[in-house]
Amino acid sequence: MEPAILYFVLFFPGVYASGFMPDITANGTIPFSAIRELGRTVTYIIPSLALLWYLILGRPSDGTQFIKMGWASFSLLKKPQKPDIISLLIGFPGLILIGFALSTLISLFSHNEGLAPPLKVEAPHDIFGWIVMVISCLGTGYLEESYFRYYLLSKLENQLSKPIVRIVISTILFSLCHIYEGPWGIINSFLAGFFLSMLYIRYKSLNGIALTHGLYNIFVYAIGIYNS
């Protein structure tokens, strides 16, 4: 019950994203706003991460103990471990390949099949915008990977013995919370989520896949330079 409640509170399709979606330009580009992204980080990403990790760590009653356990949980503050590095070195190029492969399919089938091309994102305009964007992307990566991979796959392990079933469930839920991106966004999220789930099952590295996720989001914004 807890995973279901968390999903609908934190990731229910379109509920939160719709409130932060700006007006889309005539060429299908989402304008970047540093203030909007900063607001999203402060009012959504940080509180959501705090709630999720409060539940993951077992609701310790001592606040000091909670802080210590929280810092200890993020081994990013320590020397990177081999699984973290391997996951990142495999994951980041893998997501880029998935993105480029999907872009090729989009160019072939979007208009022929009556499917609108995916929305583009605009790159930040100044240093402040880039700093906000990087923090937002890394925070989003940690939030989504903490829930869909670290938390949900572990919870499902108690009820479902087959890893592939757990991966499919996690991936479907992950892709549904990107429904506001349209059909191509759902497909991209499904492929990326499946890939990241397999990486997590194999290497058990939250930091590796969270950094992979965050860096890929940053990469997408960097490509937005060409849409500006």
pTM of the model: 0.85
pLDDT above 90 covers a percentage of the chain that reads: 49
pLDDT at 28 (0 to 100): 62
| Mean pLDDT for all residues in the chain | 82
Q: Is the pLDDT of residue 29 over 90?
A: no
The pLDDT confidence band at residue 54, using thresholds 50, 70 and 90, is confident
Q: Is the pLDDT of residue 50 over 70?
A: yes
Q: For the packed helices 127-145 and 206-223, what is the interaxial angle rounded to 10 degrees?
A: 140
Region 71-88: mean pLDDT is 71
Q: Which residues contact 199 (CB under 8 A, 6 or more apart)?
A: 87, 90, 91, 94, 205, 208, 209, 212
**Could you report the per-residue pLDDT of 182-216, keeping only the tens digit for each?**
788 889 999 999 999 999 999 999 999 999 999 99
